[in-house]
Amino acid sequence: MNIDMSLVDWSRAQFALTAIYHFLFVPLTLGLSFIVAIMETVYVTTGDEKWKEVTLFWMKLFGINFAIGLATGIIMEFEFGTNWANYSWFVGDIFGAPLAIEGIMAFFLESTFFAVMFFGWKRVSKKFHLLSTWLVAIGSNLSALWILVANGWMQHPVGMHFNPETARSEMVNFWDVIFNPNAVNKFLHTISAGYITSAIFVVAISSYFLLKSQKLQDFAKRSILVAASFGLITSGYNILTGDSSAFTIVHDQPVKLAAMEGLYKGKKGADIVAFGILNPEKEVGDKKEEFLVSVSIPRALSILGYHKLDAYIPGLDDLVFGNEKLGIESAASKIEKGKKAVAALKAFKEAKKANDMPKAKAALEEFRKYEKYMGYGYLNDPKEIVPNVPITFYSFHTMVGLGLWFFVLMVVMLYKAMTGTLSASKTWLKLALYSLPLGFLANELGWIVAEVGRQPWAVQDLLPVKIATTHISTTSVMITFFMFAFIFTLLLIAEVRIMATQIKLKAQGGHNV
Amino acid sequence: MFEKLSTLALQEYWWFIISLLGGLFLFLTFVQGGQSKIWSVRNEEQKDLLINAIGRKWELTFTTLVLFGGALFAAFALFYAVSFGGAYGLWMAILFSFIIQAVAYEYRKKPGNFLGQKSYEAFLLINGTVGIFLLGVAISTFFTGAAFKLDDMKHLSWLGSARGLEALANPFSILFGMMFIFLARTLADLYFIFIIEDEEIVAKMRKALRVDFGLFLVFFVAVAAMLLTKDGVGYDAKGFYIEHYKYLHNFLAMPAVLVAFLAGVVLLVAGVVVNFAKVCRRCFWLAAVGVVLVGLSLLLVAGYNHTAYYPSTADLASSLTIQNSSGSRNTLITMSYVSLMVPFVVAYIAYVWRLMDRKPLDEDEVEHDVMSY
């Protein structure tokens, strides 16, 4: 098979572009929908009109964000077909199901009750309106569940087998796909990250109001009370789910884990790097030091991965070159077996076409012997299994650092809101305001860790990205890449400006506009 | 329950669901039709009224399109790979028009919207005309097919010169696209009559209905005549073959589908014609049911009765059928259980629709609602 690497890279770039843009808006939708629902619940239960004012303002910002999330979301679903046709056929039997369920279960819930949430204030009862707001929040989060089930399957394919007759992977157990530990952890970690981002969003903008407007003191304090409580609970939970996510990665994606930790040489009682600067000259297999500077937590990685002080964590050198003593197979050996699987599959298809059944049977037996290495058969160099280490390492560590900061911020803001000392704490209000972009940054970094860290695979160990693309001209993809880059950037600028204007108008007038 | 069905029955069941979604989507394109008419009114207040009327429904159309794609991916993944991967130019153009639609309602009148109100209104117009036309062209390829080949590993080679946009040179596809535009506009006229409390607008829409429906009829009759006299690709155990009058034969071989198609046409015509004589708000629903039935039956004719629903004009053997392009039996069974949720979903949509539309929309409500578009 001829592979045009420039086509692969442009297809990758286009998907990364749309995913990065889409993932700017999704986390806010996930969390803000619940924050608004909580605020409206307080309004409906207390009948206090001030809570309605709070609800309406944040609902308006939710709507502005929701629209652009839809705009960037539609292209992502269809891009699996347009740019990843081979992928769509190879895994469509498994991957398509969660996407369709997402449509049936989540999208209709969101879109139907969204209209009530925004335009139903005078058309339905208070209680039905509240129910609609909650259903929009549930729908948004169900949508995340199904897409992350699909993504979790790509990280750790389960519940399937490869059918040589149809040349694709087919689902054998739906429940295995849904309850894939990788998917469950990914879902819980991702949504809780979205909740924190939303909490920071509300706390940051409310802090701005406290700094700028005397009229909005009450409005801002109410908003912070809800958002900081929500943010504190979810950031604590996010730290726990981060731990579970790392545990599954240790077992399912050891190469990704090694890249996340910059671990080249495996060791017993492996440390976690709390802070480090990678040696830029370091490559897999050489003797150079891994870090220029580092501060580590002793044995923490072994504890995290195996809950044992002296568990062995393989490094990139082990995973690329193998480690006979520990029974770790080299990538070269896997590639060799993979090529045998690919050749046997081809022989099987040819024999079937020629109606040569004995030959087909023999080829199929050979294929089954090496089947689990098939994905490796499309690789040429053992080092291809290593993702970009600096991007994965720095993204991971920055994300973790930000996650810890968010926890501290939420504790302080909630404490100050409850003790009535918030307005006097100008420094903390400014820190909260400046943290606004950090929530979005942390989400993007998490996404980069998940997706860059699993390269070169589209489906872990089964399908390399370079085999998954649609065979079209690179120019076609370049054109659509720039087209999307242009329109998404325009729309992002529009969204930010609209939000900023709404916030400024609120700060000036004190009423919803 | 579904385990007892044969694989062919499961494939037919899923093609039925896809067809039903297609029919529902066709009905919901009244949103696009409405977008193409926002400049037909006298002043800004009336324009706001039209936009807010369809703006409360646009997400349902958008979602149905997304689900149509998702269901095809789950049940007929090979079509998803071949059509979307092959007709890249055509699908990208369609998607682009839906991207700009998604923000247009919300951003149009917001202060600081960067591109200006007119740009967002232009986005609505593009989606409501070009977008819906191209979608019609894409749907027409269920009958015209495309030039592609598949190898043993199902790797796709697309031989069309313009990645799907070559369909724009096919008269049948162009007529199909035009039919979509004027059907959407006809449905929009009926929806505005149904939902808007403004005599002037209602009178204007009743007048426009004659033109929009008249043009729709011209394109519809032309499409129907071409379809019924058209060759199609059939298949049996020996392989694929060209069959003259394939779609006419399909209608005759499946009387229930023929009855659904004819009933759909009658309901649509009735829904429109009554409004010629007097204002009939609820006639929108007659036309809606009619359009769903027409869309459903057309897609059933494309895929049932041993018909290739996506014929390859370059290599007949590569043509896609509901049998050779479907998901595995296990996936179809699993998804069939999921499909049992569809009636529940339709029920709550209908309930909410009724609740939200029980009172007509007027300028006063739009003006005083802080959430208005």
SS3 B325: coil
Averaged confidence pLDDT in chain A: 93
Provide mean pLDDT across the span A70-83.
Answer: 90
**What's the first-to-final CA gap in chain A, in angstroms?**
59
pLDDT of residue A134: 97
In chain A, the residue whose alpha carbon lies closest to the alpha carbon of B89 is A476
By DSSP bridging, strand A168-171 and strand A160-163 are: antiparallel
A394 plus A448 within the same structural domain: yes
Cα A37–chain centre separation: 24
Contact A81 B80 (CB under 8 A): yes
Instruction: Report how far residue A449's alpha carbon sits from residue B30's, in angstroms, rounded to the nearest whole number.
Output: 43
A394 plus A500 within the same structural domain: yes
**pLDDT of residue A293 exceeding 60:** yes
Residue B246 lies in a domain: no
**What's the first-to-final CA gap in chain B, in angstroms?**
46
pLDDT digits (tens, 9 = 90+) for A389-407: 999 999 999 999 999 999 9
Residue A258 lies in a domain: no
Domain final residue, candidates A386, A404, A422:
A386
All residues of chain B having their beta carbon less than 8 Å from the beta carbon of residue A60 are: 370-371
Provide mean pLDDT across the span A204-224.
Answer: 93
Cα A138–chain centre separation: 19
Contact B341 A105 (CB under 8 A): yes
A314 plus A379 within the same structural domain: yes
All residues of chain A having their beta carbon less than 8 Å from the beta carbon of residue B367 are: none
Question: In 10 A of CB B197, how many CB atoms?
Answer: 14
Residue A241 lies in a domain: yes
Contact A112 B348 (CB under 8 A): yes
Nearest-CB residue to A67 (from B89, B102, B157): B102
Provide mean pLDDT across the span B38-44.
Answer: 92
**pLDDT of residue B1 exceeding 90:** no
Instruction: Report how far residue A22's alpha carbon sits from residue B314's, in angstroms, rounded to the nearest whole number.
Output: 37
Question: What burial class does residue A305 get, using C-beta atoms within 10 Å of its C-beta: 0-12 exposed, 13-18 middle, 19+ buried?
Answer: buried
Instruction: Report how far residue A416's alpha carbon sits from residue A410's, in angstroms, rounded to the nearest whole number.
Output: 10
Q: Which residues contact A78 (CB under 8 A, 6 or more apart)?
A: B69, B84, B91, B95
All residues of chain B having their beta carbon less than 8 Å from the beta carbon of residue A115 are: 56-57, 59, 352, 356
Residue A19 lies in a domain: yes
Question: Could you tell me the residue range of the domain that residue A208 belongs to?
Answer: 5-253+387-509
> Using an 8 Å Cβ cutoff, are B296 and B27 in contact?
no
For residue B235, report the phi and psi dihedrals to the nearest 5 degrees: -150, 155
Question: In 10 A of CB A88, how many CB atoms?
Answer: 29
A238 plus A289 within the same structural domain: no
Q: What pLDDT band is residue A1 in, cutting at 50, 70 and 90? A: low
Instruction: Report how far residue B168's alpha carbon sits from residue B171's, in angstroms, rounded to the nearest whole number.
Output: 8
Residue B239 lies in a domain: no
pLDDT digits (tens, 9 = 90+) for B54-74: 999 999 999 999 999 889 999
Instruction: Report how far residue A506's alpha carbon sits from residue B212's, in angstroms, rounded to the nearest whole number.
Output: 44
Provide mean pLDDT across the span A85-111.
Answer: 90
A442 plus A499 within the same structural domain: yes
Contact B98 A59 (CB under 8 A): no
pLDDT digits (tens, 9 = 90+) for B74-101: 999 999 999 999 999 999 999 999 999 9
Domain final residue, candidates A358, A386, A414:
A386
Nearest-CB residue to B335 (from A71, A100, A111): A100
Residue A345 lies in a domain: yes
A98 plus A45 within the same structural domain: yes
All residues of chain B having their beta carbon less than 8 Å from the beta carbon of residue A497 are: 112-114
A78 plus A218 within the same structural domain: yes
A403 plus A497 within the same structural domain: yes
Q: What pLDDT band is residue A76 in, cutting at 50, 70 and 90? A: confident
pLDDT of residue B154: 87
Tokens encoding A462: 């089964």
Question: In 10 A of CB A2, how many CB atoms?
Answer: 4
Torsion-angle region of residue A131: left (phi > 0), alpha (psi -120 to 50) or beta? alpha
Question: What burial class does residue B230 get, using C-beta atoms within 10 Å of its C-beta: 0-12 exposed, 13-18 middle, 19+ buried?
Answer: middle
In chain B, the residue whose alpha carbon lies closest to the alpha carbon of A487 is B100
Q: Token match 């077996």: residue? A: A337
Instruction: Report how far residue A307's alpha carbon sits from residue B236's, in angstroms, rounded to the nearest whole number.
Output: 60
In chain B, the residue whose alpha carbon lies closest to the alpha carbon of A91 is B77
For residue B349, report the phi and psi dihedrals to the nearest 5 degrees: -65, -45
**pLDDT of residue B150 exceeding 60:** yes
> Using an 8 Å Cβ cutoff, are B223 and B172 in contact?
yes
Q: For residue A249, which of A387, A434, A59 has the smallest C-alpha distance? A: A387
Give how many domains chain B has, as a whole number: 1
pLDDT of residue A512: 52
**pLDDT of residue A9 exceeding 70:** yes
> Using an 8 Å Cβ cutoff, are A115 and B371 in contact?
no
Alpha helices in A315-435 (DSSP H): 316-321, 331-353, 357-370, 389-419, 426-434
Give how many domains chain A has, as a whole number: 2
Nearest-CB residue to B328 (from A82, A99, A171): A171
A355 plus A433 within the same structural domain: no
A381 plus A391 within the same structural domain: no
Q: What pLDDT band is residue B369 in, cutting at 50, 70 and 90? A: confident
All residues of chain B having their beta carbon less than 8 Å from the beta carbon of residue A93 are: 77, 327-328, 331
Provide mean pLDDT across the span A45-58.
Answer: 96
A113 plus A162 within the same structural domain: yes
Residue B287 lies in a domain: no
Residue A287 lies in a domain: yes
Residue B274 lies in a domain: no
Provide mean pLDDT across the span B298-316.
Answer: 96
Provide mean pLDDT across the span A309-332.
Answer: 94
> Using an 8 Å Cβ cutoff, are A182 and A479 in contact?
no
| Residue B80 DSSP class | I
Give the residue from B78, B323, B326, B328 with the most A CB atoms within 10 Å of its CB, the best one to mutate.
B328
Tokens encoding A331: 């990538």
> Using an 8 Å Cβ cutoff, are A142 and A113 in contact?
no
SS3 B58: helix
Alpha helices in B29-170 (DSSP H): 30-35, 44-55, 58-75, 77-79, 85-86, 88-107, 117-126, 132-144
Q: How far is A492 from chain B (nearest CA, A)?
A: 10
> Using an 8 Å Cβ cutoff, are A41 and A130 in contact?
yes
Q: For residue A38, which of A194, A222, A209 has the smallest C-alpha distance? A: A222
DSSP codes, A207-246: HHHHHH-STTHHHHHHHHHHHHHHHHHHHHHHHHHHHHHH
Averaged confidence pLDDT in chain B: 94
In terms of pLDDT, which residue wins out, A365 or B1?
A365
Give ∠ CA B161-A4-A381 in degrees, rounded to 5.
Answer: 160
Instruction: Report how far residue B116's alpha carbon sits from residue B184's, in angstroms, rounded to the nearest whole number.
Output: 26
Nearest-CB residue to B67 (from A103, A167, A501): A103
Residue B286 lies in a domain: no
Q: What pLDDT band is residue B370 in, cutting at 50, 70 and 90? A: confident
> Using an 8 Å Cβ cutoff, are B159 and B322 in contact?
no
pLDDT of residue A4: 83
H or E stretch including B366?
helix B363-368
In chain A, the residue whose alpha carbon lies closest to the alpha carbon of B334 is A174
Residue A259 lies in a domain: no
Provide mean pLDDT across the span A34-43.
Answer: 97
**For chain A, what percent of residues have pLDDT higher than 90?**
86
Q: Which residues contact B345 (CB under 8 A, 6 or more apart)?
A: A104, A108
Which residues face A160 on adjacent strands? Answer: A171
> Using an 8 Å Cβ cutoff, are B76 and B322 in contact?
yes
Question: Could you tell me the residue range of the domain that residue B359 belongs to?
Answer: 2-230+309-368
The sign of the CA dihedral A253, A255, A256, A261 is positive
Instruction: Report how far residue A429's alpha carbon sits from residue A448's, in angstroms, rounded to the nearest whole number.
Output: 30
**pLDDT of residue B360 exceeding 70:** yes
SS3 A275: strand
Q: What pLDDT band is residue A511 in, cutting at 50, 70 and 90? A: low
> Using an 8 Å Cβ cutoff, are A101 and B340 in contact?
no
Domain final residue, candidates A328, A356, A386:
A386
Residue A298 lies in a domain: yes
Residue A38 lies in a domain: yes
pLDDT of residue B258: 98
Strand intervals (E) in A373-511: 457-459, 463-464
Instruction: Report how far residue A68's alpha carbon sits from residue A487's, in angstroms, rounded to the nearest whole number.
Output: 11
**pLDDT of residue A329 exceeding 90:** yes
All residues of chain A having their beta carbon less than 8 Å from the beta carbon of residue B153 are: 167, 349
